[in-house]
Chains A and B, each alone.
Chain A
Amino acid sequence: MSKQNRENRSVSELVQAGLKRRYRAEKRFRLCGIAAIVISLLFLVILFADILGKGLPAFRQTHIRLNVFFDPAELSPETLARADYHGIVKKSCRSLFPEVTGRRQKKSLYKLVSAGAPYEIRKIVMTDSSLIGTIQELWLTAADDLDMLMKGTISRDPGGRFNNDQLAWIDRLEKDGRLRQQFNFTFFTSGDSRDPELAGILGALSGTVLSLLITLLLSFPIGVATAVYLEEFARKNRWSDFIEVNINNLAAVPSIIFGLLGLGIFINLFGLPRSAPLVGGLVLTLMTLPTIIISGRAALKSVPPSIREAALGVGASPMQTVIHHVLPLAMPGMLTGTIIGMARALGETAPLLMIGMVAFIVDIPKSFTAPATALPVQIYLWADSPERAFAEKTSAAIIILLIFLICMNASAVYLRRKFERRW
């Protein structure tokens, strides 16, 4: 017996000896877990901070105040649409700096004003032709390089984008109070442009809204109908198993394959117009359907059988049971699944690239068959542009896209919380 005691004691001593090491290992493991979460969230924070930091300056645009003389010799009421507004802008620049001579110097002076300034003047005088013959002080859009200078993105080093003359003129303009930064309305009211200071997201937003409208109108009814049929009416045989495997696979197919499908069938076989929101909407519908079907089936499964049996007991037909009793109770789950599917379709780029929505479209699309682009594709196109100012425009467009996504996901979470019923 004493030998057993001795052995028992040594076993418990052994355990005691190892405890410290095991507790340390436990702490290390726990710290690893916390570190993993912290690193992942850190990535998220860095991403958002980077996008916000790059994109917020894009919501302000530098303007120059020029004294514009609406010369009656140039502008007569008949030729108002085609007068030489470029010349008027150039004259206003020269009137501010009368000491500028020589062609090269004058060209550097004109570079401070945006290429769209003549069109702004044209619009003003065409709406109010009583201005002809007067001198007006107008705030016109500054060139993109000047805008970047004012925001500090490019430096004032003499060897940089601006020569010494231009820097001296810019300092004088600032001292005279002729430079100011205003809210960038152009970003929200104009379509794409090759000049960053004139580029906006209205065209891309309209294209996205039109495409998503088609996606919603097509995918919600078809998705709900499929979920209802598969869950309630289909007999459980090999055919329905096959459909179920099929839908699960479709949910995991890469999005670019749907683009190839759209290219091969909708554009080549059916002859639908390339780059139209109609085709974009159809491709996004096919992508969103599996998500809506899977979440719809889960929602229908969660309705307890007692509801169905009660309806059947009162004398309803199977179709009436489903449509009048089960479906309304499963509708919140289906709606949240639809919103999540729509949010995913909003951010998809690759399939839209395949069906041709990658062209440079300046006009705002007005119908489902007009050529259009979408917001994620616009972001992709701008990210490739060489001008420095496009980097901040791209980040600003990303901010708008993320705001939409946050709204949609927040509404899905809110709906889920509000209508969730525990049976």
Chain B
Amino acid sequence: MTSLLPIILGVLAIVGYWLGRQRSRKVAAVGGGLVRLHSRPAYHGALTALWCSLPAAVIYGVWLVFESQIVTSLVVAGLPEHLQALPSDQLGLLLNDIHNLVSGNIVSQNSDSISAAAEHFSSLVSISHALLAVVMLGFAIVGIILALSRIKPSMQARDQVEKVVNVLLLICSTVAIFTTIGIVLSILFEALRFFQKIQLSDFLFGLKWSPQTAIRADQVGSSGAFGAIPVFTGTLMIAAIAMLVAVPLGLMSAIYLAEYAPRKVRTVVKPLLEILAGIPTVVYGFFAALTVAPLVRGFGASLGLDVSSESALVAGVVMGIMIIPFISSLSDDVITAVPQSLRDGSYGLGATRSETICRVVIPGALPGIVSGVLLAVSRAIGETMIVVMAAGLSANLTANPLQAVTTVTVQIVTLLVGDQEFDSAKTLAAFALGLLLFIVTLILNIIALQVVKKYREQCE
């Protein structure tokens, strides 16, 4: 029933638009033609539709947000005394049962008081829905009547409609800000709860990461070590291997495409390199885990080395392949932006093409290239699926790329997809890691954007 209400409101709004337009035309005809109107009939119609739909929509939204809370508290107040005095988690289970009974799901326990409470719940909900429908439609119709009564030739309908549209646009653009605030608050809130249980210095400087917390007091293996350094070194090692692969390949590809390649080769090869960036990372992870890792392991075994099947090398190389197009396209842009006069001066002095590139163009484009590399590093640090599928879970503090290491993103995924309760230090550790990840990538992005901005100012 409530899902029909927005559709009915939409239909009413269309009717209001039509009525408003007709009325404005009639009023204009009396006064001497359409030219007497301040605003065209469409704006009068739009104003009527807005008067009809906006107050009703606001009421609908607010009502639905608060409905379940109010109804639940009324139902709890109607429960018998001994049930109201239950501790909060048992009361929560009871409420779950009542909700399940109402929606026809399976319940864990049933009794007279629960069935009575469920009936009370459904009756309250239907009363509330009926009330909502009446209030909404009432406001909508009153809105149409009010708007119609105010239509006159001198009414500045267009200005009012445009003001409303302006406000709507402003509200939409605050969504981005609310997203950032939401990210910061949600992560910060949970991370602070974590830091109440574990010391900040233990987390930042501890050398052992073993996030087990005991469910019972006497459980074996319940030592909870939350030192994040092994996890960070794992992330940095895999990111470093990825950069070792991506920077030479990406930079040389960009140089060739920008300086040497004929037009046709460039129009064909550039989109092909972009395809590498468009492949979902889960595909790269599957490729790394099922094809590359056994190959590297077999190759290492034939050389006599002990390569883990979840080595940092495999994850790093595949991540590097994914990052090549980032560096290639960003470097391509900055290299083509270097003024031709610099190149011409170098050729005039007798330098070969490679010498011009190495000594004139690259130093000129260096800030842009560096910012591209920083953005790529930020992407490598935040990458999840490749490392979840190809890297390991044990936090090794090692510099050997052939061993298994774990990264920050892998730990976040394992801690939150697992089965510990939400309050324990183990699960909250994921939010603390997420906070550090967010801060590090934010700093890298800001530095990269600042470098680009300063470079652009230098060039102009």
Question: Which A residues fall within an 8 A CB radius of B?
Answer: 15, 22-23, 25-26, 29-30, 32-37, 39-41, 43-44, 47, 50-51, 54, 221-222, 225-226, 228-230, 233-234, 243, 245-250, 252-258, 260-261, 263-265, 268-269, 286, 289-290, 293, 317, 319, 343-344, 346-350, 353-354, 358, 376, 379-380, 383, 391, 394-395, 398, 401-402, 405, 409, 413
Contact = CB atoms under 8 A, between A and B. Distances in A.
A246 B273 contact: no
Given A47-B279, A256-B382, A243 B256 contact: no
Interface centre among A25, A346, A379 (most CB of B within 10 A): A379
Contact of A25 (B177, B354, B442): B354
Contacts of B324: 40, 43
Contacts of B220: none
Contacts of B416: 260, 263, 354
Contacts of A413: 271
B186 A260 contact: yes
B441 A253 contact: yes
A33 B256 contact: yes
A363 to B, nearest CB: 15
Contacts of A343: 278
A158 B177 CA distance: 65
A247 B172 CA distance: 13
A41 B384 contact: no
Contacts of A250: 176, 179-180
Interface centre among B165, B281, B385, B422 (most CB of A within 10 A): B385
A231 B411 CA distance: 40
Contact of A249 (B260, B272, B442): B442
B190 to A, nearest CB: 6
Contacts of B384: 254-256, 349-350
B218 to A, nearest CB: 31
Contact of B286 (A233, A245, A290, A394): A394
B255 A33 contact: yes
Contact of B352 (A26, A39, A260): A26
Interface of B: 158, 162, 165-166, 168-170, 172-173, 175-177, 179-180, 182-183, 185-187, 189-190, 248-253, 255-257, 260, 269, 271-273, 275-276, 278-287, 289-291, 321, 324, 328, 350, 352-355, 357-358, 375, 378-379, 381-385, 388-389, 409, 412-413, 416-417, 422, 430-431, 434, 437-438, 441-442, 445-446, 449
B260 A349 contact: no
- Main secondary structure, interface of B, reads helix
B382 to A, nearest CB: 3
A353 B417 contact: yes
Given A249-B446, A261-B183, A383-B289, A225 B280 contact: no
Given A33-B260, A37-B253, A398 B175 contact: no
Nearest to A15: B350
Contacts of B389: 380, 383
Nearest to A37: B253
Nearest to B446: A249
12 contacts: A30-B260, A30-B353, A37-B257, A40-B253, A221-B172, A229-B169, A233-B169, A252-B379, A255-B384, A260-B434, A290-B176, A353-B413
Contacts of B388: 350, 380
Nearest to A269: B186
B438 A257 contact: yes
A253 B382 contact: yes
A23 B353 CA distance: 9
B135 to A, nearest CB: 23
A36 B249 contact: yes
Contacts of A255: 382, 384
Contact of B276 (A44, A225, A405): A44
